[in-house]
Amino acid sequence: MGFKFKSLFLTFLLILTSSCLDNQGNLNRIFKKGGEKLTILQKIRQKGKLVGLVDYNSTNYFIYRGEPMGYQFELLKAFASHLNVGLEIVTNNNLDESFELLKKGKVDIIATGLTKTKGRNNVIDFTDPLAQTHQVLVQRKPENWRKMATMDEIESHLIRNPIELAHKTVVIQKASVFKTRLQNLSNEIGEDIHIVEDGKREVEQLIAAVADGSIDYTISDEYIALVNQRYYPDIDVGTPVSFPQNIAWGVRLGEDDLKAEINNWLNEYKNSLTARLLYNKYFKNPNTINYARSEYHSVGGGKISKYDDIIKEISKKFNMDWKLISSIIYQESGFDYQAESWRGAYGLMQLMPGTAEMFGLDSLSTPAQQIEAGVKFIRWLDKQIPEEVTDTIERNKFVLAAYNVGLGHVLDARRLAQKYNYDPNIWTNNVDTFILQKSRPRFYRDSVVKYGYCRGEEPYNFVIEILDRYEHYNNLIRN
């Protein structure tokens, strides 16, 4: 089997709580038995992951300089950490499709900053509020507003009273609460407001359309509008069109245990310093404008790093997925081609001196040469993994672990797994269990172990983190 990442799309996140062997060599894990029906919270804990749906935009979920970021994404990470489980992210910017994915059990939580409404209460259960907001009109300032003498002159060109929306066309995201609000507003003012639902663009894209003059008006929650006003100084978001409304997460109807767990966590989390810092990071940080305008932002520029073109070319040459190679490089060096570790590893792919020499590298090697050497090393490691490891995804994990800690320790863990009646050809929940045990004398002194002590947490976490980031790259980087 070859080490082929090309066209691989991971559908699950491989983060599981590390386990220890008891004195009888049995793994201490608890499962429900006897046909007892599990609650959703029990299922999440048993499978070891929470599946959260977020929308892809410059506030909730994006990649910046190779790192997954976003307000809702980080909130979900904090809650998953509270549950001591991994996190799998599903992206969808279509509200109807999002509700359907929740209903079918494809996701556990919708974390898109949903506005809580009476109508939606019949479709999903809402958690306690994350925050409050109100809806605002997004409109363009007059073209020459910077040259106007007074604010009153600028204001004279803007809608400040919602009654002035009579006979205007407002384009809104399809299936959003904005339609109901505009319909009610139309009734209140006794005049028609022409409402156009856009099924292809979400709120931030419609705000951008107002900014570039493609449309005249849209509606947004204020907190989203204020963030985008930093990117588009020519828009105005100062006209409210609703009363304050609660923003919350959504869970399936009847999943009271998950809802209660979220609410208990939220009540403590919302009052913490961590929560305030997270909010400020995304909604009060003046540097957010630099993020969104960067070519290394997945929404604005769509690049992971300045080495994208080189990584793509070399990955294609060796039939590998460039996003996975990018994830390895981010993990190893943060895309710093001059990076050096205390152990002597250097370059983008942090090859040790002996390995670097094996593939023709020296301290003067170019970034392209460093990347190609790292990819060749990966190919070499793949050839050393026994042919019995036939599952492509599992094989990839063996190679990643060997890249991090060395082939010998991985083969040791494989022999330990076989000795204790685990599957030596499966990494997750089998061989990875024994790479963790190699820091314990009982195991690194075992007669089947040839390479001694190993800090197993490093390769264990390395595999998880590489594949986790790779999944985010697949979610957000389209080319």
Contact 339, 347 (CB under 8 A): yes
Interatomic CA distance for residues 136 and 240, integer angstroms: 4
Query: What is the pLDDT, as a whole number, of residue 364?
Result: 87
Contact 193, 186 (CB under 8 A): yes
- The H-assigned helical ranges of 284-336 are 288-293, 308-317, 322-333
- String of DSSP letters for 171-232: EEETTSTHHHHHHHHHHHHTS--EEEEESS--HHHHHHHHHTTS-S-EEEEHHHHHHHHHH-
**Helix-strand-coil split of the chain, %, nearest 5:** 45, 15, 40
The residue assigned the tokens 């090309």 is 6
* Assigned token pair, 365: 């090697």
| Of 343, 152, 159, 139, residue with least CA distance to 229 | 139
Cβ neighbors of 189 (< 8 A, separation 6 or more) are 162, 163, 165, 166
| Kind plus residue range of the DSSP H or E element containing 247 | strand 245-251
Contact 403, 328 (CB under 8 A): yes
The β-bridge partners of 127 are: none
Interatomic CA distance for residues 403 and 459, integer angstroms: 9
* Assigned token pair, 167: 């006979």
Cβ neighbors of 275 (< 8 A, separation 6 or more) are 269
CA distance to 128, 142, 183, 218, per residue, from 211 (Å): 34, 11, 24, 10
According to DSSP, the β-strands at 67-69 and 194-198 are: unpaired
* Domains along the sequence of the chain with CATH: 40-131+247-293 (3.40.190.10), 135-243 (3.40.190.10), 308-476 (1.10.530.10)
Contact 435, 405 (CB under 8 A): yes
In the residue annotation, 332 being an active-site residue is answered as yes
| Of 301, 318, 295, residue with least CA distance to 371 | 318
Q: Is 46 exposed, middle or buried (0-12, 13-18, 19+ CB in 10 A)?
A: middle
Residue numbers in the chain where pLDDT is lower than 50: 1, 4-34
> Which one of the listed residues 204, 222, 332, 372 is annotated catalytic?
332
| Of 133, 121, 120, 124, residue with least CA distance to 247 | 133
Query: What is the pLDDT, as a whole number, of residue 1?
Result: 47
Query: What is the pLDDT, as a whole number, of residue 35?
Result: 56
How does pLDDT run across 419-453, given as a tens digit for each residue?
999 999 999 999 999 999 999 999 999 999 999 99
* Length of the chain in terms of residues written: 479
The residue assigned the tokens 């790259």 is 473
Interatomic CA distance for residues 73 and 53, integer angstroms: 9
Phi, psi of 239 (to 5 degrees): -110, 105
Interatomic CA distance for residues 44 and 102, integer angstroms: 14
Interatomic CA distance for residues 256 and 454, integer angstroms: 44
The residue assigned the tokens 């279509």 is 94
